[in-house]
Structure 1
């Protein structure tokens, strides 16, 4: 999946355990593990907001997009006649 979850990075920067983070944002450690390991199909905005509040960060600090080989679209090269 081209969406990469960087929750581990923020947890390490904040020197916080996974259990503590799960308690503070109000989800189970198992559900947090699903999210941080990239197995979640969706994330609620309320959960994302809680993560940002507790970790003192922006959504972009937790989520990033990386193209994979199948979804990357190559643009055709322009010839001199099109410039």
Structure 2
């Protein structure tokens, strides 16, 4: 049974998520992938990231720098897949 001291509101969860260090950069990854028709499998293949590493980057969490995000955006653009 969960008591009131263990309860975290949806607003609190959203606040914590907004405060993750690279949330905006992480949001841009998904947009770059959609715009360039690149799949998660492709990103994992050309970056060498593990599922866990990429998930942390997508979550805006982890030890990633702005330069690493910029490099990933460039890699995604370079691996653009034509839409059929």
Q: How high is the TM-score relative to the length of structure 1?
A: 0.51
Q: 1:41 aligns with which of 30, 40, 62?
A: 62
Number of equivalenced pairs:
56
Cα separation, 1, equivalents of 2:67 and 2:46 = 13
Unaligned regions of 5+ residues in structure 1, if any?
A: 58-83
Unaligned regions of 5+ residues in structure 2, if any?
A: 1-18, 79-84
- The structure where strand makes up a greater share of residues is 1
* Paired residue secondary structure (1:32): helix
Q: 2:76 aligns with which of 31, 55, 80?
A: 55
Q: How high is the TM-score relative to the length of structure 2?
A: 0.50
Q: Describe the shift of the 1:52–1:7 C-alpha distance in structure 2 as closer, same or farther (beyond 3 A).
A: closer
Greater C-alpha radius of gyration: 1
